[in-house]
A and B are shown apart, each in its own frame.
Chain A
């Protein structure tokens, strides 16, 4: 299933996150890259260099928007100014789909600027799904929610994280941005089998996959996006594309960012799994 209604029936390949240290390289060398993912908030501004750079990127590359602050799981209504600016950017980029996280991060108008984990309750699932629908109706593009890495669980939870994800996406009828690194990180922090998670996700809703590296501490793992992807995460990726098919894949590298070539080389390792998958289908 190369494309589905949650990613605008597109067949995007392997992308990388557009990050400032790589601007000069990309604009001067024009490397062949399937697509770039941008952090929407970095470009929800009135003018200046960031939008100038983005316009040059848009002339040559496909761009998909990824948000970090919509907080679908926060109780309050979506911020109107946020929505207005997001829609304005959607018109500029023509992103075929839009993603943000399945989390909360603000309450009573105060922002933590973090991706805080949801309590896995039916009340939260209902509210979150309603908010996803509201945002999608406003921006008028397909929407996918991303599972986050987490370091805490709540007593009030009534289901597992993957059951909560399924409950939300079914209620909202939206797509999933499946972050296999986040599944790995959370599985280690909360002692569950990551394959159970991957096998439970509705494959026909997977619009995009994220891969990334992380940092291991003595008692927990932190999602830092500052290392190459480790083998256990590649194995999860392999399983994810076995189930979801050839899916738009993006490598996130946000801290201690190496050269463009190194980041791109790491991302292209996904081809190995995608090629095996294509071969298996052909046979």
Chain B
């Protein structure tokens, strides 16, 4: 089909990486001169050559997708530094171009891609992967599905012996090796501050971010990324809470989930305190609206 061939050819040129000076490459996809490639498809006019007209779209494509990733992953940008982050994004998008109609999902495969391409994060691999996971969880939580919360009358209908509870789909549970939640909040706070009166102010912020990254010491943390009043929060949780919530999400009964939580506990909770620990945890999660009716209609449907 002629239309298909044309669209393939133009898309290849549009999605080909820019030069370091953000211009269209002189070399065409598959070899040859880009000026000849462009001239095959695009008419020149009295002001612009075919190359220059195609270049407008080539530049627009990269500015748009790179801008989108920079907006979605400011934490990873702070970890890698602006220059390496941009180079990494170009490599990621070249290998895994968008396959979804919405830019929202542009970074969906970034974590798996980085695991296969560790050279981009070689000296900060664990920290970078932690940050990517947190930032993707942030996106998923922001507009994730919310089912109607579990009510006390719903509990009455359930068989307590084999009680299973569902966790809200928007709640994301993470086990991380660095306290990247603090770092991301610091980075975001810097970005959100409206005072941009001078370059000096921006420079100070940039340096403080770099200091925050280099000073970050490893520390195993467990996090629930959740929503309250439509805002996203990072809540640190105990290892036992993480295991318990993960088990519930995986369909285990409450009884089994509690058993697993204490069996795998790194610093065992004394047996005498376990009942109070469980009661407090469940009360907190219920107050935060984390339990939902499993068979409920999806929000938005």
Q: Is the CB of B100 within 8 A of A111?
A: yes
A190 at the interface (CB under 8 A from B): yes
Task: Tell me how far the C-beta of B212 lies from the nearest C-beta in chain A, rounded to whole angstroms.
Answer: 27
B40: which A residues are within 8 A, CB to CB?
Answer: 155
Give chain A nearest CB distance to B18 CB in angstroms: 14
Q: Is the CB of A124 within 8 A of B3?
A: yes
Contact call B6/A111, Cβ cutoff below 8 A: no
Q: A49-B142, A113-B103, A151-B57 are in contact. Are A119 and B43 (CB under 8 A)?
A: no
Looking at the assembled complex, report how far the CB atom of A149 sits from the nearest CB atom of chain B, in whole angstroms: 11
- CB < 8 Å neighbour of B300 from A47, A49, A111, A151: A47
Residues of chain B within 8 A (CB-CB) of A110 are 11, 15, 97-99
Residue of B nearest to A188 (CB): B47
Q: Which of A47, A51, A69, A107 is within 8 Å of B102, CB to CB?
A: A69
Q: Decide: A111 and B3 in contact? CB cutoff 8 A.
A: no
**Which residues of B lie under 8 Å from residue A124 when comparing CB positions?**
3
- Complex interface: chain B residues within 8 A of A220 (CB): 47-48, 56
Pick the contact of A75 from B1, B43, B101 — CB < 8 Å? Answer: B1
Residue B8 at the chain A interface, CB threshold 8 Å: yes
Report A161-197 CB contacts with B as 1/0, cut-off 8 Å. Answer: 0000000000000000000000000000111000000
Within 8 A of B (CB), among A105-141: 106-114, 116, 119, 121, 123-124, 127
Asked whether A155 lies within 8 Å of B60 as measured between CB atoms, the reply is no
Write the A53-84 contact mask toward B (1 if CB under 8 angstroms, else 0).
00000000000000001100011000101100
A44 and B102: CB pair below 8 A?
Answer: yes
Q: Is A52's CB within 8 Å of the partner chain B?
A: yes
Q: Is the CB of A112 within 8 A of B11?
A: yes
Q: Mark A37-50, 1 if CB is under 8 A from B, else 0.
A: 00001001111111
Given contacts A79-B101, A111-B98, A155-B42, contact A121 B3 (CB under 8 A): yes
Q: Is A24 an interface residue (CB 8 A)?
A: no
A30 within 8 A of B: no
CB contacts (< 8 Å) of B11 on chain A: these are: 106-108, 110, 112, 116
Q: Please name the residue on chain B nearest to A124 by beta carbon.
A: B3
Interface string of B117-148 (1 = CB under 8 A from A): 00000000000000000000000011111100
Interface residue B301 (Cβ < 8 Å from any Cβ of A): yes
User: With a CB–CB cut-off of 8 A, which chain A residues contact B61?
Assistant: 112-114
Question: A219 within 8 Å of B by Cβ?
Answer: yes
Docked complex Cα distance between A51 and B298 (Å)? 13
| A154 vs B53: C-alpha distance when bound (angstroms) | 11
Question: With an 8 A cutoff between CB atoms, is A104 at the interface?
Answer: yes
Q: Are B3 and A45 in contact (CB under 8 A)?
A: no
Interface centre among B7, B8, B99, B145 (most CB of A within 10 A): B7
A48/B42 in contact, CB under 8 A = no
Say yes or no: A48-B230 contact (C-beta < 8 A), given A69-B102, A110-B99, A152-B53.
yes
B89 at the interface (CB under 8 A from A): no
- What's the interface size class on A, roughly? 35 or more
Query: In the complex, what distance in Å separates the CA atom of A12 from the CA atom of B275?
Result: 62
Question: Is B110 engaged at the interface, CB distance under 8 Å to the other chain?
Answer: no
Check if A92 is an interface residue, CB within 8 A of chain B: yes
> Looking at B1, B6, B101, which has the most chain A CB atoms within 10 Å of its CB?
B101
B143 to A151, Cβ gap below 8 A?
no
The residues of B that contact A52 with a CB separation of less than 8 Å are: 230
Would A108 and B8 count as touching, CB distance under 8 A? Answer: yes
Residue numbers in A under 8 Å from B47 (CB-CB)? 219-220
Q: Does B280 sit at the interface, judged by CB under 8 A?
A: no
A46 touches B101 (CB 8 A): no
Q: Which of A47, A82, A154 has the most chain B CB atoms closer than 10 A to its own CB?
A: A47
A52 to B53, CA, bound (A): 42
**A-to-B contact residues, CB < 8 Å:** 41, 44-52, 69-70, 74-75, 79, 81-82, 88, 92, 104, 106-114, 116, 119, 121, 123-124, 127, 151-156, 189-191, 219-220, 222
Other A-B contacts than A106-B11, A155-B42, A220-B48, 10 sampled, CB-CB below 8 A, are A49-B143, A69-B102, A75-B7, A79-B101, A107-B7, A112-B14, A113-B65, A151-B56, A153-B53, A154-B6
**Can you name 13 A-B residue pairings with CB atoms under 8 Å?**
A46-B169, A47-B145, A48-B141, A107-B7, A112-B15, A112-B61, A114-B14, A123-B1, A153-B53, A154-B6, A155-B41, A155-B43, A189-B45
In the A-B complex, the 8 residue pairs with the closest CB atoms: A49-B230, A46-B145, A48-B143, A45-B143, A152-B53, A47-B299, A111-B98, A219-B47
